[in-house]
Amino acid sequence: EAGVVQSPRYKIIEKKQPVAFWCNPISGHNTLYWYLQNLGQGPELLIRYENEEAVDDSQLPKDRFSAERLKGVDSTLKIQPAELGDSAVYLCASSLDLTGASSTGELFFGEGSRLTVL
């Protein structure tokens, strides 16, 4: 079974430039998450989707960040314009059931997209 796929793996941009990250979750997983992970820290939730609906975006900086999940499958996270402090790893995860975790409590993570803003 294919895992969560993210691209690009690495992105280097100059500040004020836009950037987009793409995520393809595990087939059949209706819940999709975008997490932000700073160096030496644990992942922090940015946004959660149930199918195509963003049901928790309270931690998403909406002035510069946007996300979409068309048709309830793939998702894109965009930053425009990027700032120096946005340098981090952006992790996508998916899970099977509506409570935010499968029966084993597992979120399946992709390998992440590492952003460097110069």
Partner 1 sequence: EDQVTQSPEALRLQEGESSSLNCSYTVSGLRGLFWYRQDPGKGPEFLFTLYSAGEEKEKERLKATLTKKESFLHITAPKPEDSATYLCAVQLPYKLSFGAGTTVTVRA
Structure tokens at 62: 């909406």
- The answer to the question of residue 40 lying near partner 1 (CB under 8 A) is yes
Whose tokens are 């996300």? That residue is 67
Q: Which x/- pattern, by CB under 8 A, does the window 49-88 give for partner 1?
A: ------xx--------------------------------
Q: Which residue of 7, 87, 96, 108 would you call a contact of partner 1, by CB under 8 A? A: 108
Is the Cβ of residue 81 or residue 100 nearer to partner 1 in the bound state? 100
- The answer to the question of residue 109 lying near partner 1 (CB under 8 A) is yes
- The answer to the question of residue 12 lying near partner 1 (CB under 8 A) is no
